[in-house]
Structure 1
Amino acid sequence: MNRLKVVIVEDEYYVRKGIINSFDWGELDCEVVGEAANGKKGSEIIEELRPDIVITDIEMPVMDGIEMVRLLKNKQIEAGYIFLTAHQKFTYVHSALKLEAVDYLLKPFRYEDLKNSIEKVREKLQSGSSLSQEKIEIEKEIQAKNNYIKEAVLYVRNNYGKDISNITAAEHLDINSAYFCRLFKKETGYTFGQYLTHYRVNVAAGLLANFDIRVAEVAEQVGYTDSNYFSQIFKKIMGITPKEYQNEKKYIGFEHI
């Protein structure tokens, strides 16, 4: 079988570039042939390029990943759809998985996670099994129980470089902070602080992989005033320090994370 063609759809620029540049796609017998920053543009590129695999974020402006996949399937455009999410327990994520996706990846994900997901797609292609033709009908679930979580995620995306916390998020949503903490943990599997930390590290990895920038500057851009503390957090999540991560990108061009 020829190399599998991959399209990446992710609205966060540094995260998208980090995914494209941080993995050895050749070793996975894949080739990234296109990218997009929202579902509308993604659907156009996917319709044109007809990739084997689409790796897409769920939460995006203009058109989200769920709506994009539904649009493509209505046009009979089949691919191995892999969703990116930070929501471990989102009801609508699980619904999407049952109806449409081959797999999902929790951000920030590691090389082995990506490899396993791609192998699932490859097995389906080799066996000739078709992906589900059912339509996704999950908007009511999104609008109801998960509405606060969606707004909290958007709050993080727009403010991760600032001094924010579960308290400021609850104030932004105009709800009780204790209730917000319980709800966020229940629906995502993370505390708000854990989610914020993972999101910041994910963005930082993209910055380090794509720009010649000092670690202290990266730390500041993702909301850490103490670069040493940032380095400790980064190493805990990624397994290596930010400097080591940056050096490996500089001299190797990719890293298995």
Structure 2
Amino acid sequence: MKLMIVDDEPKIRKGLFKLLSAQEGWQVVGVYEDAPSALKDLYELEADVIITDIKMPEVSGLDLIRQIRERSLNIRIIILSGYSNFSYAQKAIELGVTRYLLKPTDPRELLSLLKEMERELFPKAPEAEPDQRPDGENEVGNLLVVKAIQYIEVHYGGRITLKDMAEELHLSPNYLCELFKRHTGKNLMEYVTEYRMQKAKTYLSHVEYRVGDVAEMVGYKEAKYFSSAFKKAYGMTPLEYRNKR
């Protein structure tokens, strides 16, 4: 699988290159500090996946993606962004971005996503029979679930309610829950908690963040409530988890 990296931060570029180059069967065909340079090489390098920042000088990541789509290039796109702004995510969804991940990104999460893309791009075995739902219901349902997940990825640091999410996606709360369960096998609000806990583990690995800071970063106003939820999920308190590492 061929990958391109576009980010104006040297540390991010270097870290991504090292991480992705180490994976068997993957080739980082280009590393760029700006969008125009990446666009220039797109046709020649034939990348399968582009990983790009959203805020860059001159030409933004969204502009890069827009130009890729205008050229009808069938490339999978992952956005890594330090901006938890849902308007960015909405535009990204409209432009067919596969995932919108917030920095600091968990390397395991990124690798898991890329491996999933690799399986889709280069299937090694015949795929199972598709769900035979009429009128493209399965495809539409999947898209709505993807949008729900992206909403969670952007809003996990703030207040998330089923009502707000359903309104954003123009669905009834009950239908959204049923759709999410059908396509993921998971309860929607349990997924929100699970995602927050995964993010909390990433932030706890940064010793400069206090437990109270991490609680706020993943959407909990009270550190005590966060610690209780964390212990319920992992059988240990946030401090115990940090000290164990």
Q: What TM-score, normalized to structure 2?
A: 0.48
* Bigger RCO (CA 8 Å, 6+ sep): 1
Q: What TM-score, normalized to structure 1?
A: 0.46
